[in-house]
């Protein structure tokens, strides 16, 4: 029996404007007119999942829904989650060779890191590898990892990845921190439990009224996130993140991002790395 995949007309301007306003209100992601075709293609997944025939029906569902579940699905399909292990590797080299030796000699507190848009987990697990190599499996460090997408957080918590995603890592790192799958899991690998338990994953909207953290962080990774926001939202976000940094703590952004023109009160120490205070 042949199966068919539903196709949909192009999303109309009125429906697209409604969706982009809703996305902005919930996540502050700023979708411009040029994203219309991309958004329409991604929304088609939700139409098929809900057995809806038109974008108008989907927008009515969003308007009439009494709960937030579908809005969460909407953000999931719209969010871009491109990442990889050791992405922008010089950040991790800086952490290992410059910040950690300096910090360890001056401070006895646990070293706390926040991966503020962790996607499917590659970034916080990379940080965990660096910290485990430096501190060992001790109570001297911990990682908080958050994302607005429930879908990618499920992947991150499982810590299971295709072997090709880790193929470029040194063999000794793979042996220490990954388990290779067998039988039905052949071709995949999993972060070992000792490393997974050092990372706490949470669902979090960066623009929610407050954050659940009781202590500040020595380092916050918030990379390749600001590119989706307008300037007022970028300034709002940087202010929020700065408030979560310990004095002397560092904020890391993506190399394609800049705090130029944003009031932030941070000191740039090298490209894409900023310190809270002198």
User: Within a 10 A sphere around the Cβ of 229, how many other Cβ atoms?
Assistant: 19
Beta strands per DSSP E along 121-182: 141-147, 160-162, 178-180
177, 129 Cβ separation under 8 angstroms: yes
Beta carbons within 8 Å of 244's beta carbon, 6+ residues apart: 114, 211, 213, 216, 217, 220
User: Contact, 273 vs 94, CB < 8 A?
Assistant: yes
pLDDT, position 5:
42
86: left (phi over 0), alpha (psi -120 to 50) or beta: left
Active site residue 275: no
- CA 250, CA 223: separation in Å to the nearest integer? 13
Cα-based distances in Å from 88 to 47, 103, 122, 143, 177: 36, 22, 12, 19, 20
pLDDT of residue 261: 86
User: Tokens in use for 56?
Assistant: 């108008």
**Phi, psi angles (nearest 5°) of residue 12:** -75, 160
Question: What is the per-residue pLDDT for 129?
Answer: 97
Q: Would residue 147 show up in a list of annotated catalytic residues for this protein?
A: yes
* Sign, CA torsion 28/34/38/39: positive
Q: pLDDT digits over 205-225, tens only?
A: 999 999 999 999 999 999 999
DSSP of 8-25: -PPPPHHHHHHHHHHHHH
Tens digits of residue pLDDT in 119-141: 999 999 999 999 999 998 888 99
Each residue's pLDDT, cut to its tens digit, for the chain (278 residues) gives: 344 445 667 899 999 999 999 999 988 888 888 989 989 998 998 999 899 989 999 999 998 766 577 888 888 888 766 788 999 999 999 999 999 998 876 777 899 999 999 999 999 999 999 999 999 888 899 999 999 988 899 999 999 999 999 988 999 999 999 999 888 888 999 999 999 999 999 999 999 999 999 999 999 999 999 988 999 999 999 999 999 999 999 999 999 898 988 889 899 999 999 999 85
pLDDT of residue 184: 86
Task: From the candidates 20, 28, 46, 147, give the one annotated as an active-site residue.
Answer: 147
The pLDDT value recorded for residue 247 is: 93
Enter the pTM of the model.
Answer: 0.87
C-alpha span between 184 and 206 (Å, rounded)? 38
Report the distance separating Cα 215 and Cα 144, nearest Å: 11
**Which residue ranges form the domains of the chain, and what is each CATH number?**
13-78 (1.10.155.10), 90-275 (3.40.50.150)
Confidence (pLDDT) at 192: 96
Q: Which helix (H) or strand (E) holds 199?
A: strand 199-203
């Amino acid at each position: 029996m042949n199966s068919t995949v539903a196709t949909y007309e192009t999303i109309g301007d009125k429906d697209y404007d409604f969706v982009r306003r809703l996305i902005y209100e919930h996540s502050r992601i700023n979708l411009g007119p040029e994203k219309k075709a991309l958004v329409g293609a991604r929304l088609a997944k939700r139409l098929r999942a809900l057995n809806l025939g038109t974008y108008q029906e989907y927008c009515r569902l969003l308007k009439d829904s009494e709960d937030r579940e579908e809005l969460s699905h909407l953000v999931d399909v719209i969010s871009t989650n491109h990442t990889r292990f050791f992405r922008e590797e010089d950040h991790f080299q800086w952490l290992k060779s410059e910040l950690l030796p300096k910090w360890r000699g001056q401070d006895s507190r646990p070293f706390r890191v926040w991966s503020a848009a962790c996607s499917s987990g590659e970034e916080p697990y990379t940080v965990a590898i660096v910290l485990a190599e430096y501190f060992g499996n001790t109570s001297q460090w911990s990682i908080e990892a958050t994302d607005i997408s429930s879908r990618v957080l499920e992947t991150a918590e499982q810590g299971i990845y295709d072997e090709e995603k880790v193929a470029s890592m040194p063999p000794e790192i793979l042996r220490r921190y990954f388990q290779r799958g067998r039988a039905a899991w052949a071709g995949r690998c999993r972060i070992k439990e000792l490393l997974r338990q050092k990372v706490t994953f949470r669902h979090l909207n960066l623009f929610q009224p407050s954050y659940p953290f009781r202590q500040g962080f020595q380092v916050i990774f918030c990379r390749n996130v600001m590119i989706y926001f307008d300037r007022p939202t970028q300034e709002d976000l940087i202010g929020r993140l700065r408030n979560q940094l310990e004095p002397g703590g560092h904020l890391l952004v993506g190399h394609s991002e800049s705090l130029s023109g944003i009031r932030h009160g941070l000191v740039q120490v090298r490209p894409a790395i900023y310190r809270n205070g002198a």
